[in-house]
Amino acid sequence: MKRLLLILGLITLVAFFASYNFKNNSQFIDDLKEHSVGTLSKLEVYEPPILAPEIEFQDRKGNLLSLRSFKGQVVVVNFWATWCLPCRVEMPDLERLARKIKSDEVRVITVSLDRKGFEVIDPFLLDIGVRELEVYLDQSNRLSIQVGAIGLPTTLIIGKSGEIIARLVGPALWESEEVIEFLIKVQKLT
């Protein structure tokens, strides 16, 4: 069943990428790649950027929204789960990044893939000392499959135009100076 879901997810992902025609701004891509150093050295910068899908996920109150709901802001979107050991280490770092860059133009959000929802998410966050991070839920895993979150954690960088600019599969040191410089660059360029 997992293999079938993975195959369907990859087919959907290929169809998604093929269905959009975006402008290719090579200077923009080169500028971003220049800032993909240190903890971001494994960052995959999309050429061209990809329009974020409209697949919905939910907030704590059950309200539905999509990645496009954040249009006008640079968004760091981290996909994770309570059973993911690297996520346990990474979540506090994401919260520190969110505190450091808190503004109307840059936002850090997390999307949990836990099927039991906030029933397991909340105790997990308390246990690791995370109190302020924006947490959303994708119980169906439809969004994570659509954006190619094939391993956890996976993080997307979305520009103000609502396009996915880059993806990083695996953990990173999110509150590092190179990440902050990268996000400032994305904010200026998008």
Residue type, 79: F
Average pLDDT along the chain, 190 residues, taken 10 residues at a time: 49 42 47 59 90 96 96 97 96 96 90 97 98 96 93 96 94 90 88
What is the reported pLDDT for 27?
55
What is the reported pLDDT for 26?
57
**Which of 169, 186, 153 shows the shortest CA–CA distance to 31?**
186
Task: Report residue 139: phi and psi, to 5°.
Answer: -65, -30
Domain spans in the chain, listed from the N-terminal domain onward:
2-189
What is the reported pLDDT for 73?
96
CB contact set of 52 (below 8 Å; sequence gap of 6+): 66, 67, 68, 147, 158, 162, 163, 164
What is the reported pLDDT for 13?
42
What is the reported pLDDT for 32?
56
Total Cβ atoms within 10 A of residue 1: 5
Residue 62's region, left for phi above 0, alpha for psi from -120 to 50, else beta, is left
CATH number of 2-189: 3.40.30.10
What is the reported pLDDT for 20?
37
Q: How far apart are CA 167 and CA 170, in angstroms?
A: 10
Query: pTM for this one?
Result: 0.82
